[in-house]
Amino acid sequence: MTTTTSDQAPRVFTPARVLGAIAQLAAAGVVWAIAFGVLFALLASGIGLTFAFGVGLVILLGFIYALFALGWLETARVEGLYGFGIAPLAPRSSGRPGFTGWLHTVWLQFIDGRMWRGVASAAVAAVLGWATLSLISVTASGIAMVFTPLLPGDPGTLLLQGSGLEIPAAWAVAGGIIAALVSIAGLIGLAALHGVLVRGILVPSREAQLAAAARTAQAQRGGAVRAADVERTRIERDLHDGVQPRLVSVGMTLGMAQQKIDDDPDAAKQLIAEAHTSTKAAITELRQLARGIHTSVLDDRGLDAALSALAARSPIPVVLDARITQRCSQPAEAAVYFVIAESLTNAAKHSRAAECRVLVRQREGGILWARVEDNGIGGATVVPGGGLDGLSNRVLGVGGTLRVDSPVGGPTSVEVSVPCAY
């Protein structure tokens, strides 16, 4: 998330933004007031019906996501008006599978500080909006009073709409001019106040930005270290359980052939042929192991070509839909590639899936996004030290997020998003 610093505050007071703020506050005075009325109705009915019929829980769930919708709209409105650089409000997710994971997701959404700041900004806009509507009414009434002498008859006293003041007809012109000027000044003041308040509510302070950046950097370093540990353990296990026993077997077979080469040449030839076959198998395993560490086609031809080769090698059919318009950084592409590769491997080994679907997109904001879906039996979980844990840490190490949804009975989906220019 990028935000502006304090030296950019004068951008709030440009004429275009002041006029835009006045117009938006006038609309917000009506729209947000209706929105808060709906929210209070949802909250009251949800609490009341929870103990009566239980359906109140569904209403309260709707209340939470209605709050999110209001916060999202308010954040987008403020960003569109002022251009503070506020990141769009995104729904929270626990990343955990099953019902407990869903409950945790709902709780995380309810306590999301950014959502509540958006709601608070909407409340401020609603209050200032009603004041703006009153001042607009005063302005229009004051301008109308200026033309009172042109009207036939003597109205006696005139009511200044929006203020409740009565002005004698003799003072209508002067009173109208003064009322219009004061109300216009008040509108400008409200617009400026709105810019200051929403900036204070929605834009983190410099200290908060630095603290958040430090926490993010620390989390990324921790994820990279854990991912390296998991990868090292995997390599050690693959060498110990695969290539090493095969090479030991090759050595023993060649030793036996050496003993028989003089007495039984035919048996020795058979043993040498067996050793040759085992050696080729070991070379194949080493290539696969090296491919799991580094994929040269990824560097040479990009993620699209690497995924096409990966899909072609998959033991189960893969539908690949990759729409990549430009190259991303090597760490970002590598993280997405290995997430997809591990997901396809898991699907082939454990899910009993008949087909996998891989979607890859470049989204707005420089995000490389991918989703792997299979129609298997599900039940995949993130186990500390396991493959999915290693992927999660690897993605975290490049500043991305990984979400696994695999209920028992299937299907399984793995979704990854990483900054393209990491």
Q: Find the mean pLDDT for residues 148-167.
A: 58
Confidence band, pLDDT 50/70/90 cuts, at residue 6: very low
State whether 164 and 33 are in the same domain. Answer: yes
Domain-ending residue, one of 173, 204, 235: 204
State whether 178 and 194 are in the same domain. Answer: yes
Question: Is position 150 within any domain?
Answer: yes
DSSP state of 366: T
Do 292 and 270 contact (CB within 8 A), yes or no? no
Q: Which domain holds residue 374?
A: 297-419
Q: 325: which residues sit within 8 A by CB, 6+ positions away?
A: 362
Structure tokens at 21: 């703020």
State whether 307 and 405 are in the same domain. Answer: yes
**pLDDT for the residue numbered 53:** 67
- The CA distances from residue 194 to 80, 162, 178, 304, 310, in Å, are 14, 21, 24, 47, 54
Checking DSSP bridges between strand 157-160 and strand 401-405, what pairing results, if any? unpaired
Q: Find the mean pLDDT for residues 13-32.
A: 88
Question: Is position 217 within any domain?
Answer: no
Confidence band, pLDDT 50/70/90 cuts, at residue 3: very low
**pLDDT for the residue numbered 183:** 87
The pLDDT > 90 percentage for the chain reads 14
Q: Which of 79-93, 126-140, 402-416 has the highest mean pLDDT?
A: 126-140
Higher pLDDT, 294 or 297: 297
- Angstrom distance (rounded) from CA 2 to CA 101: 30
42-96 confidence digits (pLDDT tens): 888 888 887 766 678 888 889 999 999 999 999 999 988 888 878 788 888 776 6
Domain-ending residue, one of 263, 293, 323: 293
DSSP state of 243: I
State whether 144 and 172 are in the same domain. Answer: yes
Domain-ending residue, one of 293, 325, 342: 293
Q: Which long-range contacts (CB under 8 A, 24 or more apart) does 286-289 make?
A: 286/243, 289/235, 289/238, 289/239, 289/242, 289/243
- Angstrom distance (rounded) from CA 38 to CA 63: 9
Q: Find the mean pLDDT for residues 234-252.
A: 72
Q: Find the mean pLDDT for residues 327-342.
A: 84
CATH number at residue 408: 3.30.565.10
Q: Domains in the chain: how many in total?
A: 3
Question: Is position 333 within any domain?
Answer: yes
State whether 193 and 135 are in the same domain. Answer: yes
192-214 confidence digits (pLDDT tens): 899 889 988 888 766 655 666 66
Q: Find the mean pLDDT for residues 246-256.
A: 80
State whether 319 and 267 are in the same domain. Answer: no
Higher pLDDT, 301 or 114: 114
Higher pLDDT, 156 or 282: 282
Q: Report pTM.
A: 0.56
State whether 394 and 326 are in the same domain. Answer: yes
State whether 99 and 134 are in the same domain. Answer: yes
Question: Is position 211 within any domain?
Answer: no
pLDDT at 353 over 50: yes
- Mean residue pLDDT of the chain comes to 78
Confidence band, pLDDT 50/70/90 cuts, at residue 99: confident
Higher pLDDT, 286 or 407: 407
Q: Which long-range contacts (CB under 8 A, 24 or more apart) does 154-161 make?
A: 161/137
313-352 burial: b if 16+ Cβ within 10 Å, else e: ebebebebebebeeebeebbbbbbbbbbbbbbebbbeebe
**pLDDT for the residue numbered 1:** 41
Question: Is position 407 within any domain?
Answer: yes
Q: Find the mean pLDDT for residues 229-250.
A: 68
CATH number at residue 276: 1.20.5
Confidence band, pLDDT 50/70/90 cuts, at residue 5: very low
pLDDT at 8 over 60: no
State whether 286 and 319 are in the same domain. Answer: no
Higher pLDDT, 177 or 142: 177
**pLDDT for the residue numbered 9:** 46
State whether 160 and 246 are in the same domain. Answer: no
State whether 265 and 348 are in the same domain. Answer: no
State whether 389 and 408 are in the same domain. Answer: yes
**pLDDT for the residue numbered 168:** 60
Question: Is position 19 within any domain?
Answer: yes
Question: Is position 62 within any domain?
Answer: yes
Question: Is position 219 within any domain?
Answer: no
